[in-house]
Chain A
């Protein structure tokens, strides 16, 4: 949803916060002192060029990458699989696994010691599939789905985790423009109806601006800017971070980030 006038009432309660999160591989610092707060019901998008550390940040939050600093939930606990669900950028789709079985994997953290799925788990799988209008797909193999369907099924698995916080890693990078919009609209709808908080690493700056309540711009592992889309999506800032001339245009109140035309690029160069 676009910005002005339609802002949902977002509480100030924190759903997730990172304080001074620092990750280094060997001697190379991938993230340095990232501090951010995801409020309950909020959609926060992380933007930044390839290698900026977006995925690393998400991986740190779910505990896949070792970090220094603290990541805590609203109640002060360190997040676990039942608290934060990650929709990976390149999900593994096992051969011969049905959609129902795949979504059932989301229940892993909720299964008891004997690891038996209960009728409740199956009902949750069923509700999630119904909610995403995928019930008819239950017996299809995940490896035979189209890109858009796959993304929905991966989201369904994340929803089956029943986590209040959802992390999306480039949720639309493999999709055509139609499916990009429908997946993002689905997420937007879900977070509003289910009260989820969303932290999404995104490449598509226009989409990031359109769907997120706030943006965080990361470059070389550091937060360069954060705030409302209008404040972060500034042509000079983006051109600088992305290393190529970009323009930001407002079309019917929506911000569009586009590569600058050659002429515009020239003018930019001259003025700087």
Chain B
């Protein structure tokens, strides 16, 4: 209907929204800026810390040199430059991408399932990816294809098979969140059992290799993994970002959502497919990094806003910064050997989350 019919409700062109309304919608800008600042700080910290002991000043100079239009001369040696650009930076970027992807997917799942316990592995992505990886690693299958290495390819395929199976089961139930969730539980159980059985059949060395993959780590060989991950992160990230308001609408239930003009089933499917692809891509290059996708959205929710308009993009920022930060520890704490970052995320994240929960008891909101 045209705005003509609403003389008092349709706003005149010159008036602005009421200050309280502006405030209610405006705080996300500050939070986004803070998030970006933290992200840059973590990035610089990550680039300057590590076993090779690169000089901090040199790293900064080199980074600025890399940015066009800055007339700073790099003072690092060629070897040092190689360490910075071929080892540290790819790893940092991978951490950012994986952390952001998992957190965003977790936020999306929590929205779609209207369930605070939802995480990106809910529909069997983890079990499926794990099973794929175990098959590939353990039995020495060669599934490499073009730029795709064996393990990522197998994990990616396994993850997608599990999610598709969950969704196929649930289609019979009209794709309601509860049915989907149960389908996911069934598939996760099935693939976990298969994975456990497969591990049992392996030799000790191979089993250890598989387990260390399952714990999750950000191993890079140059920029290769990043180029593999980037298309998924970009496309699915944009899809989820665009659908974040749908997640808010879904919070009032399917009936009301429909009467407000949303097709809840279609929105839910789009979001689940995007989030699952995003997770599968992240898992295929980094293994199973626990906790990030579950907790980062909650931290944003508790500290900043319950609206998915805010949670989805901010979870991506915070998740990226969080994983990159924790990975600094994974690289340096036990240097020269490495801690699986998946273990450390829980070690660092759980107490912090507990603190936030305790301080902010969400039952009050």
Contact = CB atoms under 8 A, between A and B. Distances in A.
Do the two chains belong together in a single complex? yes
A105 B1 CA distance: 17
B25 interface: yes
Contacts of A120: 11
Nearest to A61: B259
B258 A101 contact: no
Contacts of A125: 17, 21
B5 interface: yes
B262 A162 contact: no
Contact of B242 (A115, A119, A164): A115
A92 B253 contact: yes
Nearest to A98: B24
A100 B9 contact: no
B261 interface: yes
A108 B248 CA distance: 10
Contacts of A101: 24, 248, 307, 309
Interface string B315-354: 0000000000000000000000000000000000000000
Given A122-B22, A126-B11, A127-B10, A81 B260 contact: yes
Contacts of A97: 248, 251, 306-307
Interface string A171-188: 000000000000000000
B18 A126 contact: yes
A264 interface: no
Nearest to A103: B21
A237 B161 CA distance: 63
B6 A82 contact: no
Task: Give the one of A83, A109, A127 with max B CB within 10 A.
Answer: A127
Interface string B221-249: 00000000000000000000011111011
B18 A138 contact: yes
Contacts of A98: 24, 307
Contacts of A159: 9
B1 A163 contact: yes
A32 B25 CA distance: 46
Contacts of B77: none
B82 to A, nearest CB: 41
A95 B362 CA distance: 9
B9 A128 contact: yes
A124 interface: yes
A117 B20 CA distance: 17
B365 interface: yes
Interface string B37-57: 000000000000000000000
Contacts of B243: 115
A18 B254 CA distance: 24
A255 to B, nearest CB: 31
Contacts of A117: 25, 245, 309
B13 to A, nearest CB: 9
Nearest to A88: B256
A114 B15 CA distance: 25
Contacts of A59: 255
Contacts of A248: none
A128 B9 CA distance: 6
A136 interface: yes
A145 interface: no
Interface in B249-282: 249, 251-253, 255-262
Interface string A71-98: 0000000001111011010011011111
Nearest to A164: B1
Question: Which one of A101, A104, A119, A137 has the highest number of Cβ atoms from chain B below 10 Å of its Cβ?
Answer: A101
A59 B16 CA distance: 35
B301 interface: yes
B16 to A, nearest CB: 7
A111 B249 CA distance: 12
B79 interface: no
Contact of B245 (A82, A111, A164): A111
Contacts of B15: 123
B18 A161 contact: no
Nearest to A87: B259
Q: Considering residues A88, A104, A129, which has the most beta carbons from chain B within 10 angstroms of its beta carbon?
A: A104
17 contacts: A59-B255, A64-B255, A97-B307, A105-B260, A108-B249, A108-B257, A108-B260, A109-B260, A111-B245, A120-B11, A122-B21, A138-B18, A162-B1, A162-B5, A164-B1, A193-B7, A194-B6
Interface of B: 1, 3, 5-11, 15-18, 20-25, 242-246, 248-249, 251-253, 255-262, 301, 305-307, 309, 362, 365
Interface of A: 59, 62-64, 80-83, 85-86, 88, 91-92, 94-101, 104-106, 108-109, 111, 114-117, 119-120, 122-131, 135-139, 141, 143, 159, 161-164, 193-196
